[in-house]
Amino acid sequence: MLIGGKSVEAQSGKRIERGSPGHSGAIVGSWPQASADDVCLAIGAAREAFDVGPWPRLSGAERSAILYRIAELIEARVEDLAIAECLEVGKPIAQARGEIGYCADMWRYAAGQARALEGQAHNAIGDDRLGLVLREAVGVVGIITPWNFPFIIASERVPWSIGVGCTVVLKPSELTSGTSVMMAEIARDAGLPDGVFNVVTGYGDPAGQTLAEDPGTDMVAFTGSVRVGTRIGEIAARQVKRVGLELGGKGPQVVFADADLDAAADGIAYGVYHNAGQCCISGSRLIVHEDIRDELLARVIDISRKVTFGDPLNETTKIGAMISRAHLDKVDGYVKSGRDAGAEVMIGGNAEAADGLYYAPTVFTGVRPDMAIAREEIFGPVLSTIGFRTADEAVALANDSEYGLSASVWSRDLENAMQTIRRVRAGRCWVNSVIDGTPELPIGGYKKSGVGRELGRYGFDEYSQFKGIHVTFGAPPRWFTG
């Protein structure tokens, strides 16, 4: 772990071993198993770095320069980081390499914005008054990240929080902690002051729970399930502590009859099979116009049959491994429940016999909106298909979910596409693409998909406090004149 700039073991000496999900029996990671006491030490280091250390009081230019150096060092270590991410998560090496490069760009964007952060001045509130709005860092932030995109999700949060002047304790998933520790070590090597960026490794209970409960943290940002996010929100509410939550999703992909079917089919396959479907913004619900349903599905099935999946270290692999045996069994349980409910499996629907944890690309048709496979987040390479006739029906189906994290619309008619996506209640949307991203645009959820926004200018607001100051010139009118 990294606490106060030092690499440390857990006080208990206990460690967590990680077996590669893509290579049965291969141990690819070993990390300290943090106790609540270990986490408290990290919080104390972050607290001192915020309350006493120089970081919140540096100029934006000084913080920016360090963030730029972090981006440069990430780029210099792309291959090391990609291999670690590939082996720990089971994602294809080419995908992991691209993700690390994208993360360097996020750090670079945050670095550029860190010196441009501003408040406001109000010069029209009276000749003898001036109003100022100051932006200040919220304080010590506990960040809890999941196992599917450990480096990306940390990079969507850490540079924004420290860029505004916060200090951080990051708790990655116990399954995929390696690249998070590497990130913090890179930041230390880039000159980030001790205690600004700490990483503790361990289980949600006690490590993650301590971050939420400890009064030494001013905010907790969590990415993961609705169940755990709700629990963290309850804990934070008891202390009136700020919370940011990015939770589950059941992303619709709405395809109109005038769509480019080849492009749509490719996007649909990518949207549901990316990271083996273990993606909160997965486009797992295909809502397709009845006139093109068969033709589009034929294209999707063809891609599903040909797409390469298997060994994550193979440069040509598109779909890698599932994160664990328990998760693979959960996905298979959803598929079985879909069959039992009367939906038809057009392709896949089974685990693959291979040296690792792999699930075949799976496409359902004959899905009713009330089925579990249409409503619940499967988190696997499973597509559920529902037909529609009118734009109103498509929007109603897209919004018929407790989630609202992402959505796509496919249509050559830009007006139709834009009018449709404006009516869909989701925070991260695409027109004629899917799972695209740029640091400039905010991300976050509607409904049970969470609260708060990351990235873009809005990401800095997430980790900022705003202080209003009234300045009076000259002698103010007397309240008491007796």
Q: Could you list the active site residues?
A: 246, 280
Spatial contact of 378 and 359, defined as CB atoms under 8 Å apart: no
* Residue pair 434/408 in contact by the 8 Å Cβ criterion: yes
Dihedrals phi, psi of 52, to nearest 5 degrees = -115, -35
Instruction: Render the burial of 413-448: b for 16+ CB within 10 Å, e for the rest.
Output: eeeebeebbeebebbbbbbbebbebebeebbbbbbb
Rounded (5°) CA angle 328-329-330 = 90
Burial class (CB in 10 A: 0-12, 13-18, 19+), 315: exposed
Token pair for 107? 């750090």
The set of residues, in sequence order, having a beta carbon less than 8 Å from that of 104 and lying 6+ positions away, is 71, 72, 74, 75, 78
Give Cα 475 to chain centroid, integer Å: 52
Residue 331's nearest CA partner among 385, 377, 279 is 377
Coil, strand, or helix at residue 287?
strand
Beta strands in 293-343 (DSSP E): none
Write the DSSP assignment of 398-417 as a string of letters: HH-SSEESEEEEE-S-HHHH
Q: Are strands 362-365 and 358-359 parallel, antiparallel or unpaired?
A: unpaired
